[in-house]
Amino acid sequence: MKIFGNSIRGIDPIQKCLLYRCCILPIALYEFQLWFYNKAPLLYSLKILGKMQRRAAIWTLGVFRTSSTEGLKAIAGLIPIKLHLHKLASRSQLYSAALPKNHIIKTLIEDVPTKSSSHSINMLTDHQKNSIKGHLIDSYNKLHGIFLLFSSLDSELNSGSRIIDIFQD
């Protein structure tokens, strides 16, 4: 069955867009963490995915091929593929942060290695961390850069000392 050809008729554009988002995108982006990470050459992969998304937008809307790509994506409600990949990557990094303490990936990206595991990304030198490429290093960098530890009992979090309390204007 040809999906982007003329073999599927009678489907309205909303159903076509749902079909693209629910069936085609998950297949195309399956295990994207293997090639989408910091310092990875992405030009060719993003070019192919961009062509796929353009064809899907043309098929969804039923417009001419000479239409502008950005306009097609905006009308079809598709975000650019690179931003979609960034969104998926950040979600997968949150999944790795929510793993149980005894999970192998959690022991690798922890800041302090446990007694049962002597291996951790934190034990690498800065030069080694910069030379390693991959999703695990990106997860480590993002988790320890974004989610800094804070105390919920800190005086700045009490009412009366917040910015809105001090500067009411």
Residue 19 neighbours by CB distance under 10 Å: 17
pLDDT bucket at 147, cuts 50 / 70 / 90: very low
Which residue has tokens 């796929």? 52
End-to-end CA distance of the chain: 63
Report whether pLDDT(113) > 60.
no
pLDDT at 27: 92
Closest to 18 in 3D by CA, of 50, 60, 68, 66? 60
Domain boundaries, the chain: 13-87, 100-169
User: Could you tell me if 32 and 88 are in contact, meaning their C-beta atoms sit under 8 angstroms apart?
Assistant: yes
With a threshold of 0.85, does the pTM exceed it? no
Task: Answer left, alpha or beta for residue 111, where phi above 0 means left and psi between -120 and 50 means alpha.
Answer: alpha
Looking at the chain, the whole-number percentage of residues with pLDDT higher than 90 is 8
Model confidence pLDDT, tens digit, residues 148-159: 455 556 666 666
Burial string for 63-101 (b: 16+ CB within 10 Å, else e) reads eeeeeeeeebbeebebeebeebbeeebeeebeebeeeee
Alpha-carbon gap, residue 19 to 30, rounded angstroms: 16
Model confidence pLDDT, tens digit, residues 24-76: 999 999 988 878 877 677 888 889 999 999 988 888 888 888 888 788 888 88
pLDDT at 68: 80
- Compare 109 and 49 and report the one with higher pLDDT: 49
Instruction: Tell me what the pLDDT averaged over the chain comes to.
Output: 75
Model confidence pLDDT, tens digit, residues 2-32: 555 555 567 888 888 888 889 999 999 998 8
Model confidence pLDDT, tens digit, residues 81-98: 888 888 888 787 777 777
